[in-house]
Structure 1
Amino acid sequence: MTFAPLRWPDTADAVIRGDLTIAVAYVTPAGGAVVTSVSPVGLGDREAGRLGFTTSLGFPRKLERILRDPHVALAYHTRDHGFATDASLVLAQGSASVDLRPSPERLAELARAGERFLGKTPRGPVWNWLLREYHQERVFVDVDVERFTVWPDLAARGAPTVTGAAPPGAPAGQAPPAKGTAPRVDVSALARRIRGLPHRLLAYRGADGHPVVVPVTVTGHDAAGLRLDAPEGLLPPGGRRAGFLAHAFRPQCVGLGMRTLTGWLTVTEEGVRYAPHTSKGLAAPPYKGLLTVSNGLLAKYGLWRARRDGTAARLRGLAARGPAE
C-alpha cells in the first residue's frame, strides 16, 4: 500500500528551512532512544513530505540503528543563529532511509546549502585535499514524515497542531534493565558538565515506535539522578529507557558543545527523575580555521577506519537487506 506524501504545514516551513541546529532521535534495540544534534542546512522536499540530514561513516552506530529500525524523529527546537524567527517547536516523526552513495549532483547541492548556514568553504590545493572526504563521503538520511506536531512556543506549552497520523496513546512502562535503574555515572560531575549547555531535550520510544522528543528543564540533582521539569502530559507515567541531550552552539557552528546520555526515566506524581547510565561529550573549537582542519582530519580518519574494520561493507549489507523485522 502506498500513501500520499505528508506536506508539512506553512507554520513549519520557515523553521525547517531556517534552523541551524536540530535534534535527531532514533531508537535502540533495547527499546530506548538516543537523541543527538545535527545541522540539517535546510534539507527537505515539502512536496514529497521528506526531510533530511547528513552524517558520516565515522558514526556507524547511529547508522546501524537507523538501518535496523527506521523510526526517527527530528525536533526543530531552537532559533539560535539560524534564519527562522517563528517561536514554534516542530516535531517531525517518520521512517528513515539511508543513502550511502549519494550522487555528485546531490553532494554539490549539499555544498551550496551548507555555505548558507556554515559559511564559505575554503578552497585551494591543500584545502581541497584536506576536505575531500568531509565533503565527498557524506551519508544522507532521508525521512518520510508521517506526523508533524507544532507547538506555539519552543517550550512546548499550549495546545499543539498535528498534521498526519493521529498521535497514539501513552506507551506502557518498560521492564527495568538487568543492571538496575540507578545512575551509573557521577551525577554531580554530569550536572557540572551540562551547566553551560542550555538546550536540553529528552527522547523516548512512543507507543507507535517513533521517538518522542520533549524539551525539559533540569531543576536539580542528587545521587538518584537529575530532577526534570517538562510540559504537562508530554512524558508518560512509569519507568522507561530514555535519551537526554544537552547542547550549545555558536554562529555557523564554529564552537559547539554537546553531551548525550542514555538512562532510565521515572515519571510519578511526585515528579520526574532521570538516572543517567552512559554519558558522551563532544566539543568543537570556537575558531573556524581550526574547526575546518579538525573536520577534515576526522573525516579522513573515519573513512579509513570504516574501510579497514569493515564498517562500510556492513552498512551496505544492512541497507540492501532493509529494516529488521
Structure 2
Amino acid sequence: MTDTHLAWPDTAHEAITGDLTVAVAYLTPAGGAVVTSVSPVGLANRAANQVSFTTSLGFPKKLERILNNPRVALAYHTRTHGFATHSHYVLAQGKASVDLQPSVQRLAELMDATEPFFGKTKHGRVWDWLLREYHQERVFVDVDLERISTWPHLSAHGPATVTGPSWPRHPATQQPPKNGTTPRIPVSKLVRRIAALPHRLLAYEGADGSPVILPVTVTGHDETGLRLSAPPELLPPGGRRAGFLAHAFRPQCVGVSMRTATGWLTVDDGEALYAPHTSVGMTAPPSRTVMTVANGLLAKQGLRRARRNGTTAHLHNLAAGVRPGA
C-alpha cells in the first residue's frame, strides 16, 4: 500500500467506481507500453488509495510484465454503459501488486460486484461446471495510486487537475529499434479493422517511468502510418515506442471488440504519426449466452495450458521475488 494518501476528487471516484470499461497500460522491457481494455466492476478502496481489476492466467504475458515492472496506469475514458454521469477524463497512475491466490471471501465479493455491471450470474449444474475456472481462478491486480489527473472533457482538452506529484516534463526521445521505425503491418488493413471501434487511446512511458494514456483521434493515414490528433502539449515531441488501443462494447460488455497495436510514435511540431509494428484483436458475439460459454471454455483451456507449460509456477516465482536463473 502506498505511503502517500491521495484525496481522490469526487469526479475521479465516480468514474473509478462507475465506468464499465477502462483502459490499462503496462510497460515492456524495451521501454514501450501496451494498452488494453478491462472491466474492473468498480473495484476500489478510496480509504486505502487502491483500485483493482482482475485477469486470468490465460494472459500470462500481461501478468509477467506487471510483475517485472509494477508501474501501470488506468484511463477512465468513456462513460458508455456505465454509472458515472460526468464527462471528465481521469488518468490514474501507480504501482501494482498481483494477488495470484485470492481468498474465497475475495472471490465471493467479486461475484457480487460483477452483477450490477454484467447482470445476474448464470447458475445450475452445467453452468457451475463450465464457469468454475472463470470465476474461481481469477487473478487480482491491485494498484496503489500515486497520481490522479482529471481533465474537464473526455477528450482530455482543458486544464488538468492533478492530485499527487506534479507531472514531470516530457520524456526524452528513445533510441529507435534495430529493425527500424516504419510500419511492419499494412496500415490500411489496421484502419479497416478499427473503423467501427470508436474509442481510441495511445500509451507511452512517461518521464517518471509511469505509463501515460491519452485519448487520440485518427485523422488520416498513408503507408507511413496513422495520423493522430491529441490535445495540445500532451504528446511528447520526438520518437518513442507506444501502444495503441481501439475498442467498442455494448451494455453489460456483451459484444466486445478490441484491437491493440504496438509501434513507433513520432511527434514533430505537434504532428503525430504512429507506425504500427504489431496488431492483435478479438471480437465477441453480441450474445450473452454464447459469450458466457466462450469465457468458460477459454478459462478452462487457459488454466490447463498454464499449469502444463509451467506458466503458473513461473508467475508464482515472480510474485515471490524469484527471478529466472537466481
* Shorter-chain TM-score tier: over 0.9
Q: How far did 1:35 drift?
A: 0.2
For residues 273 and 161 of structure 2, the distance between their equivalents in structure 1, rounded to whole angstroms, comes to 28
Amino acid at match of 1:315: L
For residues 313 and 66 of structure 1, the distance between their equivalents in structure 2, rounded to whole angstroms, comes to 16
User: Which deviations, in whole Å up to 9, do the C-alpha atoms of 1:233-257 show, x marking residues without a partner?
Assistant: 1100000000000000000010010
Q: Give yes or no for the alignment of 1:180 onto 2:180.
A: yes
Indicate conservation of the 8 Å contact 2:2/2:145, yes or no.
no
Amino acid at match of 1:185: I
Mark the CA change 1:172 to 1:283 in structure 2 (over 3 Å): closer, same or farther.
same
Indicate conservation of the 8 Å contact 1:242/1:263, yes or no.
yes
Indicate conservation of the 8 Å contact 2:20/2:82, yes or no.
yes
Q: How far did 1:323 drift?
A: 9.1
Amino acid at match of 1:127: W
User: Which deviations, in whole Å up to 9, do the C-alpha atoms of 1:71-112 show, x marking residues without a partner?
Assistant: 000000000001111100100000000000000000000000
Q: How far did 1:322 drift?
A: 7.1
User: Which deviations, in whole Å up to 9, do the C-alpha atoms of 1:22-54 show, x marking residues without a partner?
Assistant: 000000000000000000000000001000100
Indicate conservation of the 8 Å contact 2:51/2:145, yes or no.
yes
Q: Give yes or no for the alignment of 1:57 onto 2:53.
A: no
User: Which deviations, in whole Å up to 9, do the C-alpha atoms of 1:210-241 show, x marking residues without a partner?
Assistant: 00000000001000000000000110000000
Ranges in structure 2 where 5+ consecutive residues have no aligned partner: none
Indicate conservation of the 8 Å contact 1:245/1:258, yes or no.
yes
Q: How far did 1:274 drift?
A: 0.1
Q: How far did 1:5 drift?
A: 2.6
For residues 188 and 8 of structure 2, the distance between their equivalents in structure 1, rounded to whole angstroms, comes to 41
Q: Name the residue aligned to 1:79.
A: 79
Amino acid at match of 2:54: T
Indicate conservation of the 8 Å contact 1:6/1:48, yes or no.
no
TM-score normalised over the length of structure 1: 0.98
Q: How far did 1:166 drift?
A: 1.4
Mark the CA change 1:218 to 1:322 in structure 2 (over 3 Å): closer, same or farther.
farther
Q: Give yes or no for the alignment of 1:22 onto 2:22.
A: yes
Indicate conservation of the 8 Å contact 1:134/1:300, yes or no.
yes
Q: Name the residue aligned to 1:147.
A: 147
Q: How far did 1:4 drift?
A: 3.1
% identical aligned pairs: 69
Q: Name the residue aligned to 1:295.
A: 295
Indicate conservation of the 8 Å contact 2:2/2:144, yes or no.
no
Q: Give yes or no for the alignment of 1:32 onto 2:25.
A: no
Q: Judge which range, 62-71 or 10-19, deviates more.
A: 10-19
Amino acid at match of 1:254: V
Q: Look up the SS of the partner of 2:188 in the other structure.
A: helix
Mark the CA change 1:323 to 1:2 in structure 2 (over 3 Å): closer, same or farther.
farther
Indicate conservation of the 8 Å contact 1:50/1:145, yes or no.
yes
Q: Name the residue aligned to 2:91.
A: 91
Q: How far did 1:120 drift?
A: 0.6
Structure 1 residues 122-271: aligned runs within 5 Å: 122-269=122-269, 271=271
**Number of residue equivalences:** 324
Q: Judge which range, 260-269 or 313-322, deviates more.
A: 313-322
TM-score normalised over the length of structure 2: 0.98
For residues 138 and 176 of structure 1, the distance between their equivalents in structure 2, rounded to whole angstroms, comes to 37
For residues 213 and 140 of structure 2, the distance between their equivalents in structure 1, rounded to whole angstroms, comes to 21
For residues 152 and 4 of structure 1, the distance between their equivalents in structure 2, rounded to whole angstroms, comes to 25
For residues 277 and 230 of structure 1, the distance between their equivalents in structure 2, rounded to whole angstroms, comes to 21
Q: Look up the SS of the partner of 1:321 in the other structure.
A: coil
Q: How far did 1:269 drift?
A: 1.2
Q: Look up the SS of the partner of 2:74 in the other structure.
A: strand
Indicate conservation of the 8 Å contact 1:227/1:274, yes or no.
yes
Q: How far did 1:270 drift?
A: 6.1
Q: Name the residue aligned to 1:108.
A: 108
Indicate conservation of the 8 Å contact 2:264/2:274, yes or no.
yes
Amino acid at match of 1:158: G
Amino acid at match of 1:102: P
For residues 115 and 2 of structure 1, the distance between their equivalents in structure 2, rounded to whole angstroms, comes to 30
For residues 2 and 253 of structure 1, the distance between their equivalents in structure 2, rounded to whole angstroms, comes to 31
Indicate conservation of the 8 Å contact 2:96/2:143, yes or no.
yes
Q: How far did 1:316 drift?
A: 0.1
Ranges in structure 1 where 5+ consecutive residues have no aligned partner: none
For residues 317 and 219 of structure 1, the distance between their equivalents in structure 2, rounded to whole angstroms, comes to 45
Indicate conservation of the 8 Å contact 1:69/1:323, yes or no.
no
Q: How far did 1:9 drift?
A: 1.4
Q: How far did 1:202 drift?
A: 0.2
